[in-house]
Chains A and B, each alone.
Chain A
């Protein structure tokens, strides 16, 4: 399981890293990789996570199994997905780029907290 969690973390860093380096060429692919990594986590009591769901939706379902409030993380993920969805490097506005970079920093911190503290609790509850 820890390997899977590290995979999730790696995909998160990949997404955030590309945004922080100004590479918006294929953000949808990075979101998809993160979603796939989250799906690979085996939640025994968790809701079904289908392939069509976004990261924000997957996090919502995970949060539904935990008393912890993941509102910020889910909100950040939703905002980032909305800003970046379907946009290439050339199609994204300058002000959106700045906002996306700022959100990415906050998302990284919130996601790290989620991975280090919340997720183990969820997995323990599930087991």
Chain B
């Protein structure tokens, strides 16, 4: 009985290379999608914080506390992308090993016999058989939390998320320092200088005494008086 025939090594390598290429493309698309989700959610959270629709009791500092989960959400997206990046990098290294082996198998180079022999041996050692997509991905998935977070630190690779963190922190800082503390509806604090209020009240009384129940006109007059004073 004849032994089963296998495709030549370079054909198997090409098939694996194509598969890896498609996987890397999909991971790239997924990374872009994650960034889109992150940006959309962050925009929504910041818009909500600035919309004034938060509970009225939210002072500046309470607003910041409410906004902190936004940072957590960005971190989760960042972490998710980093996990995908680890997979992508492992597959990238596998692609390099395949390219190197294909190069040795297919391309004729003006190398000494010794170098050719050594390079072929090294390429095959690097390749470590084919196919190995599942093994490569399984090994990459074993990377733990510390390794993943460490990869999230270099600025040049993570500037998108650093930008998002900075933007959110700036928005929260702006809310903390610029948003006035809550003023109860019936606060005793006057909205206009005391002297004006006194003046207006006197006018009101005088007007009410003269005109009786014409409250609407009184309010109008109060506003006019206030404006004139401030000018």
The chain A residues found within 8 Å of chain B, CB to CB, are 9-10, 13-14, 17, 21-23, 25, 89-91
Asked if B118 contacts A21 (CB within 8 A), the reply is: no
B-side binding surface: helix, strand, loop or mixed? helix
Asked if A13 contacts B89 (CB within 8 A), the reply is: no
Given contacts A90-B154, A90-B157, A91-B154, whether A17 and B93 have CB atoms under 8 Å apart is no
Asked if A13 contacts B122 (CB within 8 A), the reply is: yes
Q: Does B46 contact A (CB under 8 A)?
A: no
Interface pairs (15), CB distance under 8 Å: A10-B121, A13-B115, A13-B118, A13-B122, A14-B122, A17-B122, A17-B123, A21-B96, A21-B103, A23-B97, A23-B100, A25-B89, A89-B93, A90-B89, A91-B154
The chain B residues found within 8 Å of chain A, CB to CB, are 89, 92-93, 96-97, 99-100, 103, 114-115, 118-119, 121-123, 154, 156-157
Query: Quick one: which of B96, B115, B121 contacts A22, CB cutoff 8 A?
Result: B96
Query: Quick one: which of B89, B97, B99 contacts A89, CB cutoff 8 A?
Result: B89
Given the complex, which residues of B lie within 8 Å of A89, measured CB to CB?
89, 92-93
A23–B154 CA distance with the chains assembled, in angstroms: 19
A91–B154 CA distance with the chains assembled, in angstroms: 8
Given the complex, which residues of B lie within 8 Å of A22, measured CB to CB?
96
CB distance from A2 to the nearest CB of B (A): 12
Asked if B96 contacts A10 (CB within 8 A), the reply is: no
